[in-house]
Structure 1
Amino acid sequence: MDEWREFAGNVLGMQAVANNPDGVTRFRLDERSYRLEFEEGDTEELTRIGWEVPNAAGLDDVIARLEDDGLKVTRCSAEEAAARDVQGLAQTVDNSGFNLDFFYGQQKSVEPFISPRSASFVTDGMGLGHVVLMTPVFDDALRFYTDVLGFRLSDTMRLGPARVAFLRCNPRHHSVALIEAPEKGIHHFMVEVSEVDMVGRAHDACRDGGAGIMMDLGRHSNDEMFSFYARTPSGFGLEYGHGGVLVDDSTWTVTEIAGPSLWGHRGSMV
């Protein structure tokens, strides 16, 4: 937990929340009360993924769709929702085995967001960033996100024999990507900053001992993100980037991309 506090705050520029629940550390990226939550535990793993819906009717709708797909859904109590700083909360486990939270009405802080590294994050209307998940049930996971949750396919790719699908639910090119893999797990999550120099400063902070670099600076071929990948204290990746494209649903065409990057993103031993 101490390593995460140092990494998220002093390397990435996220703001630690002053008053956290017992055993939990939260970080802000914007006006929301928090975007990331870390819990003390015996293993290093992704605990849950939160998806925001507009309001109570939106939550009822997604619950109905989940139940129609045969998933067990738990409607959390008002007290449980309040402990997470939201007005409404429901939970389920998808067929890949990931815990999913659906919520609305997250609290906004009255205190300004102050980054310890003067970073500003691109979140407005698009959430935290994106998460890339490895799943042994790729076809069913793709069906779930598109047919049940209503995500749109942005494009596809192959990493060797493994299939990859990039899915969006807002103008960001993808909020989730799925990788065909023998076991479930998190590959990486991404946060986007508003200026290219913020990426450079975070990259320098990693090279100065803040974190190992998994992949060096580069630009992706599909979302055009200029970024690098750091190794988090939990061992998986963190993409830190700038300049991702925004998708216009009326003109976007789904394609199969030949490779993940236009240039760079080479493996690094740093």
Structure 2
Amino acid sequence: MKSEATTTASVFGAVHLGYLVIETNRFADWRRFGTEAIGMHHDTVSRDLMRFRLDDQECRFLLRRGPAEDVVATGWHVDDHAAFHEIEARVRAHGVPLVQGTDEETALRGVERLLRFPGPKGIAQEIYTTPVKSTEPLRMLASGFVTGDSGMGHIALTSTRPTQIRGYFDTVFDARLTDSIDETISGVKLKIRFLRVNERHHTIAVAATRGLPIDPIRTRVQHLNIQAATLDDVAQSYQRVHDLGFDMALSVGQHTNDKELSYYARTPSGFEWEVGWNPLVIDETTWEPSTHQGISDWGHLPVGRTIVDKLTQFRVGARSLTRREDTVPALSGAGIADD
């Protein structure tokens, strides 16, 4: 339940994934991965900053030099000032601090104004209303990417406290549960919940182990997704990833729930990057949540995993038992029933 101090106007449908900020010291590898493998437009800003574009928005991925090797901020495009102020009011009403982005920060992200506040797993959440459009023609190997009303894709998190993460995105963005998947991987039973904030089947996925609450993923995000314009774009980028020697995490396959055809590559920072095509678009008048068995109808087979990889993942999971996951309690909500 949301605090009585918050207002009641829904922002569902007015929020779209707009950009991601990644911190890395592997600039040469990331430039090659982003441009030559995935096929995005690249802009060098400085020795310590670079950006990727998918469309006419000036920035979709901002990479800054630093040790995290992870996504450190999520940028949310909000349709109008009314929805922007509604989200701001909710965060303030729960006693969570907001910081206004500096002129340099807004310029780097290609937006006119932004507000930042804490998010789950230490990923800062940033909201903005007006993206800056670039007049520079796109230079990229891909024919295009699908953004628009659905946003630019999705992010997936692993969590030991999935109910609190669902509560967070419900409190802030009125996120809705689309569906769930039960899956067993290497003997570990998982529940994956898919949350939508607009017509895209999901913009946030939250995976959790059943039973002992462990987090087997080192990075804050398990993977991120972008949507290719054509099936040929998926196939050609898959071939480029392979030919250039980047690690493939999962082969081409099709998901059970959103029917997206995709593959997963491993980024230079270690988290996975999904390139997909043609996922379902939700019809709010008819959709009902359901639970699927298994993540894929076909394909999505692990590529090149060794016993060393599995042992490393086990050690990461074991270490997660000794640290508390940050869910931003003030915004994590109450009354979201587990399923």
TM-score tier by shorter-chain length is over 0.9
Paired letter, 1:127: G
- C-alpha distance in 2 between matches for 1:257 and 1:138: 18
Deviation at residue 47 of structure 1 after TM alignment: 1.1
Paired letter, 2:30: W
Moved more, 154-163 or 103-112: 154-163
Moved more, 9-18 or 53-62: 53-62
Query: What residue is the counterpart of 1:12 in the other structure?
Result: 38
Deviation at residue 236 of structure 1 after TM alignment: 1.0
Deviation at residue 78 of structure 1 after TM alignment: 5.0
Aligned mate of 2:175, from 151, 157, 168: 151
Deviation at residue 180 of structure 1 after TM alignment: 2.2
Cα gap change, 1:138/1:118 in structure 2, threshold over 3 Å: closer, same or farther?
closer
Structure 2 unaligned residues grouped into runs of 5+: 1-26, 306-339
- C-alpha distance in 2 between matches for 1:83 and 1:187: 25
- C-alpha distance in 2 between matches for 1:237 and 1:100: 20
Structure 1 unaligned residues grouped into runs of 5+: none
Query: What residue is the counterpart of 1:231 in the other structure?
Result: 266
Aligned mate of 1:170, from 187, 192, 198: 198
Paired letter, 2:192: V
Deviation at residue 59 of structure 1 after TM alignment: 1.9
Cα gap change, 1:163/1:118 in structure 2, threshold over 3 Å: closer, same or farther?
closer
Question: 3-state SS of the aligned residue for 1:204?
Answer: helix
Q: How does 1:190-205 map to 2 (within 5 A)?
A: 190-205=225-240
Q: How does 1:55-94 map to 2 (within 5 A)?
A: 55-78=80-103, 80-94=105-119
Select the structure of larger CA radius of gyration.
2
- C-alpha distance in 1 between matches for 2:248 and 2:304: 7
Count of matched residue positions in the alignment of Structure 1 and Structure 2: 268
Paired letter, 1:188: H
- TM-score under structure 2 normalisation? 0.75
Deviation at residue 95 of structure 1 after TM alignment: 4.4
Please give the per-residue CA displacement for 1:124-168, whole angstroms capped at 9, x wherever unaligned: 222221100122321111011123311111101233433221111
Q: How does 1:25-104 map to 2 (within 5 A)?
A: 25-78=50-103, 80-104=105-129
Query: What residue is the counterpart of 1:256 in the other structure?
Result: 291
Does 2:37 align with 1:2? no
Paired letter, 1:263: W
Residues 111, 130 of structure 2: 8 Å contact kept: yes
Please give the per-residue CA displacement for 1:72-99, whole angstroms capped at 9, x wherever unaligned: 2223345543443212211111244321
Overall identity of the aligned pairs, in %:
29
Does 2:143 align with 1:119? yes
Residues 136, 180 of structure 1: 8 Å contact kept: yes
Residues 71, 94 of structure 1: 8 Å contact kept: no
Please give the per-residue CA displacement for 1:42-86, whole angstroms capped at 9, x wherever unaligned: 231211111111133322211111222332222334554344321
- C-alpha distance in 2 between matches for 1:227 and 1:11: 15
Please give the per-residue CA displacement for 1:180-216, whole angstroms capped at 9, x wherever unaligned: 2634721000111111111111111122134111100
- C-alpha distance in 2 between matches for 1:236 and 1:121: 21
- C-alpha distance in 1 between matches for 2:158 and 2:95: 22
Deviation at residue 247 of structure 1 after TM alignment: 0.7
Paired letter, 1:224: K
- C-alpha distance in 2 between matches for 1:63 and 1:10: 39
Q: Let me know the Cα RMSD of the aligned residues.
A: 1.8
> Where do 4+ consecutive residues of structure 1 move more than 6 Å?
none
Residues 206, 212 of structure 1: 8 Å contact kept: yes
